[in-house]
Amino acid sequence: MSETPTTRRVYLETFGCQMNDYDTARMMRLLETAGYEKVELPKDADLILVNTCSVRDKAEQKALSRLGRLKSLRRTRPGILLGVTGCFAQREGEKFLRRMPYIDLILGTGAIERLPEHIRALECGRGPIVDIDLEPTPSPVTDFGRHLPGKGSSVAAFLTIMRGCDNYCAYCVVPYVRGPERSRPPDDILREARGLITQGAHELTLLGQNVNSYGRGLGDEIDFPRLLTMVHDLDGLTRLRFTTSHPKDLSDRLIDAFAKLPKLAPHLHLPVQAGSNQVLARMNRGYTVEQYLARVDALRAARPGIAVTTDILVGFPGETDDDFRQTCDLVESVRYSNAFSFRYSVRPGTAAAKWPDDVPDEQKIERLINLQARQQRITRELHREMVGGRVEVLVEREQTEPGLPRWSGKSGCYREVHFAGDDIGLGDMVTVEVERAFANHLEGRAAPTAPPVQRQ
Ligand code: SAH
Ligand code: SF4
Ligand code: F3S
């Protein structure tokens, strides 16, 4: 290994949501243009970037402990550069340097395009640099048509269609760390979508904190259902998904898209957060349980069998036993195909941070365990009901371990499926006969291409 390689090496690590995955891919794209190549181990890198999340205290603690461990690399590789990016970097800014003076770069969520210039400055010894300006520099690179390095496969790619959030749910840090809602122009999005498809993506997931409000500020001609139809109609695309949908903005036209657009996968992530109207009102969610349930009914009428997943927060300030019971009732009545539940964590600067965090930790944990056990039972039941049926799987990975089904991917309803079959390649859409159900995945085999001859 030479001390002054012509190509410099970067190691990137991502915490948080799919938006951060996407931003990591974007940073990699920019760094490639600046002469960097990606490496899989921090010890091989000249530059390390940790893309952080701030959504819960635990996410921040994880990033801090990771950065603490990376510090020791300084001793073995003195010239190495260490950067913190993403939502936690945005929230903390300079304060990071007080905690961790060995960090060279603090890059906020609106500053990604300026990464190459900051790296050049750091390479010339000008550091540390803090850039948490939320106003994005107009980017010459709108076409990030390259898949996420190191995450999943290029068969299924993410595409961010908007940034920020204006909803200010009382518990949530996202509007503060991602800034106000801004939608990307449809031409940019379509160009990037075509690029991803050309490079091998068969499935696209359109990303935004609240995709339903896409298009605000872009004129009357465009809104989310229209954008969805435009992306749907691109040649070469097999399957389309989007996330996240805010229940208060889930329009009839969007629900109708599930009936009209065949490539749109039969799955919707519709975070409910709580099953009590009192709690929902204090969370500033803008809908009632009854309105939410009516939306779910309309969806199921538009696309029978559609899988609905959700996010739930337990232990929000003032949540009583009765409030929690109502959340359990809601979970039982909707029968989500999956639910991600979280313990409320105070986020400095949010509306709820002013209220006492009055649900004791033990009770939060108890509620979380209760909810997760319920959901696991429901998921298992739903999985068992699928045995003997068929699902459409987009093949994303080839398994190399002997004794396991060779192929895997996601069904339209967003279940992980492992299956056996011949003459199959990555990116194929395969009809799979489900033979066995597990807690977190299904197993089966590829259905014969021609239907079996019916015997009397
Ligand atoms: N935009 C998405 C959610 C983004 S954050 C939406 O509107 O639903 C992802 C999830 O993290 C949220 O749905 C919520 O359940 C959880 N979350 C957000 N803030 C939290 C907090 N302070 N404590 C615990 N969980 C939180
Ligand atoms: Fe956070 Fe609410 Fe915005 Fe989602 S919609 S990112 S929960 S403020
Ligand atoms: Fe976390 Fe930022 Fe996503 S706070 S959940 S990485 S938008």
Calculate helix-pair angle for 361-386, 321-334, nearest 10 degrees.
10
pLDDT of residue 452: 52
**Strand, helix or coil for residue 175:** helix
CATH class for domain 267-385?
alpha beta
- Is the sign of the CA dihedral 333, 335, 275, 364 positive or negative? positive
Nearest protein CA to atom 1 of ligand 3, as residue:
53
**Strand, helix or coil for residue 311:** strand
CATH number for region 148-265: 3.30.750.210
pLDDT of residue 383: 97
pLDDT of residue 136: 60
Which residues does ligand 3 sit against, CB inside 6 Å?
16-17, 19-20, 53-55, 86-87, 173-174, 177-178
pLDDT of residue 5: 52
- Mean pLDDT, 10 residues at a time, the chain of 456 residues: 69 96 93 94 95 97 94 86 97 94 95 94 92 68 40 77 95 96 94 92 96 92 96 98 96 97 98 98 98 98 97 98 98 98 97 98 98 98 97 93 88 97 94 96 89 51
Query: 290 alpha carbon to ligand 1 midpoint, in Å?
Result: 21
The CATH superfamily assigned to 8-131 is: Methylthiotransferase, N-terminal domain (3.40.50.12160)
Sequence ranges of the domains in the chain: 8-131, 148-265, 267-385, 390-446
**Strand, helix or coil for residue 129:** strand
Identical fold, 148-265 and 267-385: yes
The answer to whether the predicted template modeling score (pTM) of the entire model surpasses 0.95 is no
- What does R_g of the chain's alpha carbons equal in angstroms? 23
Long-range contacts of 229-235 (CB under 8 A, 24+ apart): 229/257, 229/261, 230/186, 230/190, 231/189, 231/190, 231/193, 231/204, 231/206, 232/261, 232/263, 232/264, 234/190, 234/193, 234/194, 234/197, 235/197
pLDDT of residue 305: 95
CATH number for region 390-446: 2.40.50
Nearest protein CA to atom 11 of ligand 1, as residue:
55
Atom from ligand 1 closest to the CA of residue 347? 22
